[in-house]
């Protein structure tokens, strides 16, 4: 009787002993519940947690060896939290919510935060590494062999899939070892034929790795201006020095052939007084520069505005046309007087059964100007430039998207229409409403309440319908004067792809800024539309 009595007693009337006894009872019940699950459940739980912990420890050690600490600390905290949630009895809601929360954090929240960070940097071609790497790359790419350089006899060593030179120091005549990131320095136990801990390559191994060995440049000292040793045959190396002089104290890079001094002015590259940049540079935070460029730099702003307007038009027309056709077919094939309706419905959803990229490729062939079926069969062999004319390419995209999208709307509208009670429609007919009146004032408002969220999701999908644009027109025809490879049928998502991954100058920072703008535009439109949908639902 103690349990029921305690449960019925108000919390204010319980004594400390009663509350402690109630806590013990609940803990015992939780333990009993967990034990009743059986040893197999516990064994499975321990094995899965062991795998999670093993991957976490591996990732923490790997990142720690690279000198990173923030991410390992986050991984460690999350791993501890996961172990606590699944090992402590009780916490049942947390056990179900934790996987979803982790996937949400990794695949959504982290990606958004990282994209925002990249949008505030100059990350892209020529600015994708650190300043130290940029200095090394500049000195390496401007090397020239020193005239009358002495010949250094070298032995090629290998350790951890990296190659090293074993040679004799010109000043001290002692054996030294160096690699691409390790200046020449003495090593204990070195002999003319090898070094403990290193593999000495035979002639066959040298020939098999000739390209990598020929590209190897070993600095002769910590001061990179002293030069590098390089070899072409794997047996003799020569001294190379750069035509650039790096001054760490002044933070400048000087071209010794012209005397021009390049300084670090905070833009992520050594820059001369006339504004000429020396690439590669390095990644730096540039604030809102990418967003400012998107709206103020005319050569970027004009294509961006054009693409933004076309994206909105494409998304709206895609939703409107597919919904209109899908609704028409749903009403038509829902009429009980039509025979063999199920076969017609199967035929209507066939376009939805094929992968989108395959359908787009097939339609691209059908729209071919010279050999396409559409020109041959429907226009008597006329060479209509469906995919190269800006207006016709847009029409072709809308037609193909209508073909690919109406089956989805047909299925949705069919289900929504069949869910409307017949007595509501009968009541409208009794009141004297015509068939059109019943549809307009009863069916369509109820239908719209049901499918409005799906229309919003369809708008968001078409706003980012990358596959159709890429496979059908690849965004063409291209704007001739735009500095970014953007075409007149590109939508924002395909433009972002081209800015980030197409062309000689890939601007990840600008692409990330465009991505954030897309996120904000879709978010605002979805929010406003959902508010209107809620108002419509309350009205009905």
What pLDDT does residue 148 have?
Answer: 82
What pLDDT does residue 4 have?
Answer: 43
Query: Is 92 a residue whose pLDDT tops 90?
Result: no
Token match 């020529």: residue?
Answer: 126
Token match 């009337």: residue?
Answer: 13
Q: What is the percentage of the chain residues whose pLDDT exceeds 70?
A: 94
Residue 435's pLDDT band (cuts 50, 70, 90): confident
Residue 537's pLDDT band (cuts 50, 70, 90): low
pLDDT in tens, 115-152: 999 999 999 999 999 999 999 999 988 999 998 888 99
Report how far residue 51's alpha carbon sits from residue 114's, in angstroms, rounded to the nearest whole number: 27
Residue range 206-224: mean pLDDT, rounded: 91
Residue 265's pLDDT band (cuts 50, 70, 90): very high
Residue 15's pLDDT band (cuts 50, 70, 90): confident
Lowest mean pLDDT among 179-183, 228-232, 461-465, 525-529: 525-529
Lowest mean pLDDT among 68-72, 372-376, 431-435: 431-435
Residue 13's pLDDT band (cuts 50, 70, 90): low
Please provide the DSSP assignment of 465-519 as one string: -HHHHHHHTTTPSBPSS-SS--BTT--HHHHHHHHHHSSSS-BHHHHHHHHHHHH
Per the structure block, which two tokens stand in for 65?
Answer: 């060896």
Lowest mean pLDDT among 15-19, 316-320, 411-415: 15-19
What pLDDT does residue 9 have?
Answer: 44
Residue range 247-261: mean pLDDT, rounded: 93
Per the DSSP assignment, residues forming a β-bridge with 177 are: 166, 185
pLDDT in tens, 469-501: 999 999 989 988 888 889 999 999 999 999 999
Query: Is 11 a residue whose pLDDT tops 60?
Result: no
> Regarding predicted confidence, which is higher, 108 or 539?
108
Among 359, 329, 354, 281, smallest CA distance to 124 is for: 281
> Regarding predicted confidence, which is higher, 434 or 51?
51
Query: Is 520 a residue whose pLDDT tops 90?
Result: yes
What pLDDT does residue 40 have?
Answer: 67
Q: Is 187 helix (H, G, I), strand (E, B) or coil?
A: coil
Query: Is 224 a residue whose pLDDT tops 90?
Result: no
Please check whether residue 271 is in contact with residue 254, taking contact to mean a CB–CB distance below 8 angstroms. Answer: no
Residue 442's pLDDT band (cuts 50, 70, 90): confident
> Regarding predicted confidence, which is higher, 129 or 431?
129
Report how far residue 197's alpha carbon sits from residue 390's, in angstroms, rounded to the nearest whole number: 65
* CATH of region 295-539: 1.10.3720.10
What pLDDT does residue 494 have?
Answer: 95
Residue 69's pLDDT band (cuts 50, 70, 90): confident
Residue 32's pLDDT band (cuts 50, 70, 90): low
What pLDDT does residue 36 have?
Answer: 57
Rounded (10°) CA dihedral 463, 466, 472, 475: 80
pLDDT in tens, 350-398: 888 888 999 999 999 999 999 999 999 999 889 999 999 999 999 999 9
What pLDDT does residue 342 have?
Answer: 83
Query: Is 21 a residue whose pLDDT tops 90?
Result: no
CATH T-level topology, domain 132-278: Periplasmic binding protein-like II (2.40.430)
> Regarding predicted confidence, which is higher, 3 or 345?
345
Residue range 252-271: mean pLDDT, rounded: 94
Residue 1's pLDDT band (cuts 50, 70, 90): very low
Residue 504's pLDDT band (cuts 50, 70, 90): confident
What pLDDT does residue 149 have?
Answer: 83
- The 8 Å CB, 24+ separation contacts for 260-269 are 264/131, 267/122, 268/122, 268/127, 269/126, 269/127, 269/134
What pLDDT does residue 82 have?
Answer: 92
Query: Is 90 a residue whose pLDDT tops 80?
Result: no
Query: Is 33 a residue whose pLDDT tops 70?
Result: no
Residue-averaged pLDDT of the chain: 88
CA 469 vs CA 205, 260, 373, 458: distances in Å: 49, 47, 20, 16
């Amino acid at each position: 009787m103690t349990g029921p009595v305690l449960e019925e007693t108000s919390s204010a009337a319980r004594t400390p002993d009663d509350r402690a006894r109630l806590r013990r009872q609940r803990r015992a019940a939780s333990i009993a519940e967990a034990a009743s699950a059986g040893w197999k459940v516990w064994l499975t739980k321990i094995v899965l947690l062991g795998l999670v912990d093993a991957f976490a420890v591996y990732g923490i050690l790997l990142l720690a060896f690279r000198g990173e600490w923030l991410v390992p600390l986050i991984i460690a905290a999350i791993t501890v939290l996961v172990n606590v949630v699944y090992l402590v009895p009780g916490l049942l809601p947390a056990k179900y919510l934790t996987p979803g929360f982790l996937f949400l954090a990794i695949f959504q929240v982290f990606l958004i935060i990282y994209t925002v960070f990249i949008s505030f940097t100059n990350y892209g071609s020529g600015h994708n590494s650190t300043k130290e790497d940029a200095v090394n790359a500049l000195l390496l790419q401007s090397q020239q062999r020193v005239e009358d350089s002495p010949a250094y006899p070298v032995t090629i060593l290998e350790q951890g899939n990296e190659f090293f030179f074993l040679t004799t120091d010109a000043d001290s005549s002692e054996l030294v070892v160096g690699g691409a990131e390790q200046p020449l320095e003495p090593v204990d136990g070195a002999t003319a034929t090898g070094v403990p801990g290193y593999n000495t390559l035979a002639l066959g191994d040298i020939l098999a790795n000739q390209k990598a060995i020929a590209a190897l440049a070993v600095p002769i000292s910590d001061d990179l201006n002293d030069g590098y040793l390089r070899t072409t045959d794997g047996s003799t190396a020569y001294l190379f020095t750069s035509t650039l002089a790096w001054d760490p104290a002044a933070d400048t890079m000087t071209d010794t052939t012209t005397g021009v001094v390049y300084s670090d002015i905070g833009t992520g590259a050594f820059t001369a007084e006339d504004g000429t940049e020396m690439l590669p540079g390095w990644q730096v935070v540039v604030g809102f520069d990418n967003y400012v460029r998107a709206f103020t730099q005319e050569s970027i702003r004009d294509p961006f505005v054009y693409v933004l307007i076309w994206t909105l038009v494409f998304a709206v027309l895609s939703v409107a046309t597919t919904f209109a056709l899908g609704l028409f077919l749903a009403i038509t094939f829902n009429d009980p007087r039509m025979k063999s309706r199920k076969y017609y419905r199967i035929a209507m959803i066939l376009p939805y059964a094929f992968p989108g990229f395959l359908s787009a490729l097939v339609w691209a062939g059908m729209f071919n100007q010279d050999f396409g079926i559409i020109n041959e069969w429907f226009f008597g062999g006329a060479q209509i430039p469906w995919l190269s004319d800006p207006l016709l390419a847009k029409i072709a995209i809308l037609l193909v998207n209508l073909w690919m999208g109406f089956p989805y709307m047909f299925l949705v509208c069919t289900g929504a229409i069949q869910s409307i009670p017949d007595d509501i429609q009968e009541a409208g007919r009794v009141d004297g409403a015509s068939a059109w009146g019943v549809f307009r004032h009863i069916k369509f408002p109820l239908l719209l309440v049901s499918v409005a969220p799906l229309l919003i999701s369809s708008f968001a999908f078409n706003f980012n319908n990358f596959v159709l644009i890429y496979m059908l027109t690849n965004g063409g025809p291209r704007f001739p004067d735009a500095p970014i490879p953007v075409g007149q049928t590109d939508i924002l998502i395909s433009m972002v792809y081209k800015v980030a991954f197409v062309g000689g100058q890939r601007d990840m920072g600008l692409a990330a800024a465009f991505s954030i703008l897309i996120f904000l535009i879709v978010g605002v439109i979805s929010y406003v539309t959902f508010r209107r949908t809620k108002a419509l639902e309350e009205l009905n």
